[in-house]
Amino acid sequence: AVSASGPWKSSRLCIAVGILLVGVSLFFGRRPDDVLALPTGVLDKRQCSRASHRKVVSKCTPQRSCGRIAMDGFASDAEVESLTAIAARGMAMGGGSGGPTILDLQSGALSKDDQFVDIWVLFNVTGTRAFTRSELSAYHQVVGRIQEALDEHFGAERAFLTSPTFFSRISADKPPLIPNDEYWHSHVDTLQYRSFVYTGLLYLSTAGVDFEGGRLLFEGDGGEAEAAVSPRKGRLVLFTSGAEFPHRVETVSSGTRLALTVAFTCDKRAAIENFLERAIDDS
């Protein structure tokens, strides 16, 4: 069967690429231009949500404070180009019927029309050469560096990569057709994916160049946006995944927005040991 399995099959609504794609304004199409930009290079600390971080794991779980940080130039131009090429080749095998398209190379989940298929099965069924390990080397290296940055800024040396970790593309020229296409809703990552403790977002496109809108908006207590991150190629955002940081994605009004979401857990049972194990050897 070509159908996808794993977290995408069991949480179709969860994906609403609110699935952490990252936020939009409360009213469709509205841009809160007065929202302050999140400063780059500085860890912005917040009190953790106790409900979101109940289980304490030494050298992993945030305890005294949670936080968020944006880092410019985290991925080089060459790395962004390589990751973009991976996403393009994979997504060419499918494509969502509405605005968002998801590609999760670990589980194989790929948006195709209004459902998910397994891209690795699709490669086999169509006779298309699958991704090789060398093709995905930049992906592997960047994810490893994101984990190192997590340890550096949050002291989470015992964190594990978890699922889903995925590419997401939002195309403004495709109106939403099903609930999963409505990526702009406010959400908390730990409520959508209970294994999440830390969320990483690496941008592979630039607002104002590749698309308009599409900022990551963090919300305050009243649900209004209180800080914004404008996507820029190579920019990484790391934040604790609990209720201390509800967020949403601004609607993309034109162009195409591309990003990579990387998630980490403190629960070894939810860890991904080899997230690219389905890639084929180079011949």
Residues involved in catalysis: 257
Distance CA 166, CA 151 (A): 21
Q: Evaluate whether 38 touches 228 at the Cβ level (below 8 Å).
A: yes
Q: Which helix (H) or strand (E) holds 69?
A: strand 66-71
Instruction: Tally Cβ neighbours within 10 Å of residue 10.
Output: 8
Distance CA 189, CA 239 (A): 10
**Residue in the block written with tokens 């600390």:** 45
* Chain center to CA of 157: 21
Helices (H), the chain: 7-10, 12-15, 77-91, 119-126, 137-154, 189-192
Distance CA 57, CA 156 (A): 10
Distance CA 49, CA 161 (A): 22
Q: Evaluate whether 261 touches 166 at the Cβ level (below 8 Å).
A: yes
Alpha carbon of 234 to those of 40, 91, 98, 158, 258: distances in Å? 13, 20, 26, 25, 11
Cis geometry, peptide bond prior to residue 164 (ω within 30 degrees of 0): yes
